[in-house]
Structure 1
């Protein structure tokens, strides 16, 4: 029966892809397809609706699942995304983003001749930040607010700037990553040992390959796009730029990142330790920005007038980003309820391949599942519990199978047009989620191939 469910899931995936390609509302498509898959899963007896406290009627439980998905997202990542979206809009309104661009352009002016080197240099820096800020969407939005304007001014396109920003989040690593914690648990290792002894040795060469691939593909796509609209590209690169706010405002877009790094558990600068999460750092930064504005405009009325753009930014992000993330999660639940993930695993193990080949196949499947589901956590957590048993069956050390699977999940996420980080950064930057996912596919597909070969030969 599980293969019947998987076959039905594939039909839904095809229909969903067609509807999205035809520009139907993505929230509506994903939500309705997810509910339909969950309903069919119930009828064929594959899975019950997982809700906290049933309503007493299965049909109503389906809709309660939507409510709980909205609630859980709003309480966690949803509110964080909304505060970041509001902060980004507020930074634009008070021209703090302009100040950051102006200040950054001075030392980066030498990169005007090498804009793509500047762009790919963001990747390792962002990955270091990702260890301290283990939220792909959160870090992506922070970098869109602070780094993207700089990259655009030195001559790369919006899509190139956003794509290298999402590349900063393609390796879930460090002890704060949920996938890392789960992977270390499945590997029966301490999370620090897993990070230092297993993740870093493979992520470092993967990062070099990733940077090279982004350099090549970004230049190719930008030249291709520039041929279609040369006048617009010329304007972006050579337009004069000045600011009419104090240059101290340049610190405001970067302030949340600075706070998150300084007040993290890893630096241990304070005793007892002080730790901030992303949302708290955004709110603190907002109040600092309000004080800056009050000093500059010397008018409480004007200060409050500008502050409304923070709330409006939160509302826009809720309507465009949070609703899409919730719909994507319902769609993911629908795939799981039809046994799509379990069928993929069972089908791979029954083909009679060796443990190494099975590991490669499952890593590729997880990459594709993350692309389809828009979530590295969902795809890895779905497969993860099965890995130790598969490794034991083939006489392998669990970490040798777990590591490439864990990394492939986070890479697959960045190639998905329904992933939170892709949706959020694309919406804020004003680019197409599908174009962004397409930009990421070749570099991440190539890096996945490199990882699988490198893992077999050297680790």
Structure 2
């Protein structure tokens, strides 16, 4: 009973810290250490005898070391190389070139409401190249927003579409997908395949919802004559040649080609990313004709890897420590025992994990922190409930990505709203219905396809 009270208190403390915008990594690590310390005081081992230092208090900190060692292996290195590659693509202008080419045909479409679902779907495709919601928001506000307003689309409609673009597009390069696949012992394509079966229909339903909702909101707002001033920058002027547009999606192309065309080859994402990097460096060498400068620019790749370590891998390490604390107190075993034999346990767990993610994501603007913190628990909980881990993880993961588009404090909402001159609440009104439709769709399809 004491263990349950301590765990609930730690979870509440973690929630409060995240909501109050404390650093997620430090919040997870702090609460994890509290749980481990409580386990030691109550006489529970926090490490097995083979790993233990021989002194229980030191085992708390040894736990942090083992978490780093486990997460900096394949999964951590994969995430770091992918983020390094994305950073390098931005630095050499390849991302901007891809965006420029994809946006070019839009100027020929004159019907503003036909553009609503088209832009939403195109934005989701662009999220494969620029996975960060806030970064994609900045980029599309600078490049796409002026085009949309020029063809007569209202600023709030354009902003509402842009704020919902980076949500649940299935990609084997996504950090959350990589983490989940590794944790569940699945291949990345298998996991993304399950993801796509749910996310693609949901995205299409969201596109329809956008069309109907934005049209309805515009009609209601017409009498007000609301207009917003914008001061937006365009794409950089020193864009590279057209072939560079393929470079940001080259890892994605290689993943699909190798896994589908040459299934006997055992090539991981790290190898594929470095192949793509070498191809990019060769392209830069031909373009710049200055080998020394090109080699210096490659440093941006390693800076991006460092950013990946600081922004994602560190959260995974801290989340592992937190989960280890819950395990040491026996909470995971209690959850498994509770789920065993419970009728409908899989559905209950799916709704519980998704509900917590939605609430914290709505309040804090960052639902993925909850996903990263709890993904390590899902395999054992799912096994006890006799369901696939994907049934619990996928709706939770998708809701974590969707909910930020209706959180007034989320970075993408604040950025897009401030760029148009609207308030975050005004923008959230435009994003609310499509996101709610997407959320319900993800839950229903997860139950239908995975239960």
Quote the residue 2:21 is aligned against. 23
Quote the residue 2:117 is aligned against. 117
Change (3 A) 1:387 1:122: farther
Equivalent-residue separation in structure 2 for 1:221 and 1:340 (angstroms): 47
Q: Which moved more, 1:334-343 or 1:100-109?
A: 334-343
User: Is this contact kept in 1: 2:101–2:245, CA < 8 A?
Assistant: yes
Change (3 A) 1:171 1:207: farther
Equivalent-residue separation in structure 2 for 1:76 and 1:214 (angstroms): 39
Quote the residue 2:271 is aligned against. 280
2:390 equivalent to 1:406: yes
User: Is this contact kept in 1: 2:90–2:96, CA < 8 A?
Assistant: yes
Quote the residue 1:395 is aligned against. none
> What are the equivalent positions in structure 2 for 1:44-193 lying under 5 Å apart?
44-45=42-43, 48-50=46-48, 53-109=51-107, 113=112, 114=114, 116-118=116-118, 120-121=120-121, 143-144=131-132, 153-155=143-145, 159-165=163-169, 179=184
Q: C-alpha displacement at 1:248, in angstroms?
A: 1.3
SS at match of 2:164: helix
Quote the residue 1:363 is aligned against. 350
User: Is this contact kept in 1: 2:79–2:308, CA < 8 A?
Assistant: yes
User: Is this contact kept in 2: 1:42–1:48, CA < 8 A?
Assistant: yes
- Unaligned segments of structure 2, at least 5 residues: 146-157, 358-366, 404-409, 417-424, 426-430
Q: Which moved more, 1:441-450 or 1:311-320?
A: 441-450
Q: Number of aligned pairs?
A: 395
Quote the residue 1:398 is aligned against. none
Q: C-alpha displacement at 1:103, in angstroms?
A: 1.5
Change (3 A) 1:143 1:204: closer
What TM-score results when the alignment is normalised by the length of structure 1? 0.67
When the two chains are superposed, the root-mean-square deviation of aligned CA atoms in Å is 5.0
Equivalent-residue separation in structure 1 for 2:292 and 2:446 (angstroms): 59
Change (3 A) 1:13 1:431: farther
Residue by residue over 1:316-362, the C-alpha shift from the partner in whole angstroms, topping out at 9 and shown as x without a partner, is: 22223322221122223323333444445655779xx8x24x44323
2:256 to 261, 265, 271: 261
Quote the residue 2:360 is aligned against. none
Q: C-alpha displacement at 1:451, in angstroms?
A: 4.2
Q: C-alpha displacement at 1:76, in angstroms?
A: 1.7
SS at match of 2:265: coil
Quote the residue 1:335 is aligned against. 326
Quote the residue 1:386 is aligned against. 384
Change (3 A) 1:263 1:167: closer
- Unaligned segments of structure 1, at least 5 residues: 127-138, 183-190, 389-401, 420-425
SS at match of 2:239: coil
Q: C-alpha displacement at 1:431, in angstroms?
A: 7.3
Quote the residue 2:32 is aligned against. 34
Equivalent-residue separation in structure 2 for 1:328 and 1:25 (angstroms): 13
Equivalent-residue separation in structure 2 for 1:11 and 1:109 (angstroms): 55
User: Is this contact kept in 2: 1:84–1:282, CA < 8 A?
Assistant: yes
SS at match of 2:264: coil
